[in-house]
Structure 1
Amino acid sequence: MRTERNLTRLDRLFARLDREPERPAGLDVPRMSPHRIVLLGSTLVFYLLIVVAVINTSWLVRLDWQLMFFRPYQQWPEVHAFIDYYVVLGQRGPTAVMVTAWLGWRSWRQHTLRPLLMLGTSLLLLNITVGAAKLSMGRLGPHYATTIGSNEMWLTGDIFPSGHTANAVVTWGILAYLASTARTRRYLSAVSAVVALGVGLSTVYLGTHWLSDVLLGWAAGLLILLALPWFEPLITRAEAWILAQRDRLLSQYRRTTPVSAPAGAPALFPQRAPAEGTSPAREPVGAGHTARNTGHLGQRGHAVRTERAPATPVGGGSRRAAHADSGARVGRSTPASPVTGG
Structure 2
Amino acid sequence: MRTDIFARLDREPEPPKIETPRMSRHRIALFGGTLAFYLAIVVAVLMSSWLVALDWKVMLFRPYQQWPEIHAALDYYVVLGQRGPTAVMVACWLGWRSWRQHTLRPLLTLGASLLLLNLTVGAVKIGLGRLGPHYATRIGSAELFAGGDIFPSGHTANAVVTWGILAYLAATPRARRYLSAMSAIVSLGVGLTTVYLGTHWLSDVLLGWAAGLLILLGLPWVEPLITRAEDWIFAARARLGAPGSRPAAPVPADDAPAPVPAVQPAAQPAVQPPAEEPAAQGPARGQAGRPPAANGRPRPHPAPATAHAVRSERSPVTPAGSRRPPHADRAPRGGTAPARPVAGG
TM-score grouping bracket, smaller chain normalisation: 0.7 to 0.9
- 1:36 Cα deviation from its structure 2 partner: 0.6
Q: Which amino acid aligns with 1:217?
A: G
The aligned counterpart of 2:90 is: 99
Cα pair distance change 1:15/1:46, threshold 3 Å:
closer
CA drift of 1:237 comes to: 1.2
Aligned CA-pair RMSD? 3.1
Would you say 1:127 and 2:107 are equivalent positions? no
Q: Secondary structure at the match of 2:144?
A: coil
Q: Hey, what's the Cα distance between the residues in 1 that align with 2:14 and 2:148? A: 47
Following superposition, the deviation at residue 169 of structure 1 comes to: 0.2
1:75 — aligned with what? Answer: 66
> Within 5 A, what are the aligned runs for 1:133-144?
133-144=124-135
Cα displacement (A) at 1:238: 1.2
Pairing 1:1-342 to 2, within 5 Å after superposition: 9-10=1-2, 15-18=7-10, 22-24=14-16, 27-250=18-241, 253=245, 256=248, 317-318=319-320, 321-324=322-325
- Report Cα offsets for 1:283-336 as digits up to 9, x if no partner: xxxxxxxxxxxxxx9x968999x99x9896xxxx23x752359xxxxxxxxxxx
Following TM superposition, by how much is the alpha carbon of 1:233 offset from its aligned partner in structure 2, in angstroms?
1.2
**Offset at 1:51?**
0.7
Describe the shift of the 1:18–1:247 C-alpha distance in structure 2 as closer, same or farther (beyond 3 A). Answer: farther
Q: Could you report, residue by residue, the CA deviation over 1:156-178 in whole angstroms, capped at 9, with x for unpaired residues?
A: 01000000000000000000000
For 1:103, what is the secondary structure of its paired residue? Answer: helix
> Looking at CA atoms only, which structure, 1 or 2, has the larger radius of gyration?
2
Cα 1:13–1:239, aligned 2, differ >3 Å: closer, same or farther?
closer
Give the letter aligned to residue 96 of structure 2: W
| Aligned-residue offset at 1:73 | 0.8
Instruction: Decide whether the 8 Å contact of 1:89 with 1:95 is kept in 2.
Output: yes
2: CA distance between counterparts of 1:167 and 1:148?
29
2:289 is matched with: none
| 2:240/2:247 contact within 8 Å kept | no
- Name the CA shift for 1:121/1:322 in 2 (closer, same or farther; >3 Å): same
CA distance in 2, matches of 1:12, 1:192: 30
Residue 55 of structure 1: CA displacement?
1.0
Conserved 8 A contact 1:18-1:247? no
Residues 11/207 of structure 1: CA separation in 2 closer, same or farther (3 Å cut): closer
- Note the C-alpha offset of 1:29: 2.5
Q: Which runs of 5+ in 2 are unaligned?
A: 250-256, 267-311, 327-345
User: What is the TM-score of this pair, normalised by structure 1?
Assistant: 0.72
CA–CA separation in structure 1 for the residues paired with 2:62 and 2:247: 68
Q: Partner letter of residue 47 of structure 2?
A: N
Equivalent residues of 1:28, 1:181 under 8 A apart: no
In 2: Cα distance, 1:12 partner to 1:146 partner: 54
Which runs of 5 or more residues in structure 1 are unaligned?
A: 1-8, 258-272, 274-296, 326-342
CA distance in 1, matches of 2:157, 2:97: 24
Percent of aligned pairs sharing the same letter: 70
The equivalent residue for 2:253 is none
SS in 1 for 2:48: coil
Q: Tell me, what secondary structure is at the counterpart of 2:241?
A: helix
1:75-101 Cα deviation digits (max 9, x unpaired) = 111111110100000000000111111
Separation in structure 2 between the aligned mates of residue 218 and residue 12 of structure 1, nearest angstrom: 37
Distance across 1 between alignment mates of 2:4 and 2:67: 56
- Secondary structure, in 3 states, of the residue corresponding to 1:256? coil
Q: Partners of 1:246 and 1:18 in 2: how far apart?
A: 12
Relative distance call for 1:53 and 1:11 in structure 2 (3 A) is closer
- TM-fit CA distance, 1:15: 4.4
Equivalent residues of 1:22, 1:112 under 8 A apart: no
**Distance in 1 between residues matched to 2:144 and 2:84, nearest whole Å:** 27
Write the distance in 2 (CA, Å) between the matches of 1:49 and 1:164: 21
1:122 to 1:14, Cα distance in 2 relative to 1, 3 A? closer
For the Cα contact (< 8 Å) 1:28–1:182, is it kept in 2? no
Letter in 1 for 2:235: A
Asked whether the 8 Å contact 1:126–1:224 carries over to 2, the reply is yes
Q: 1:269 aligns to what?
A: none
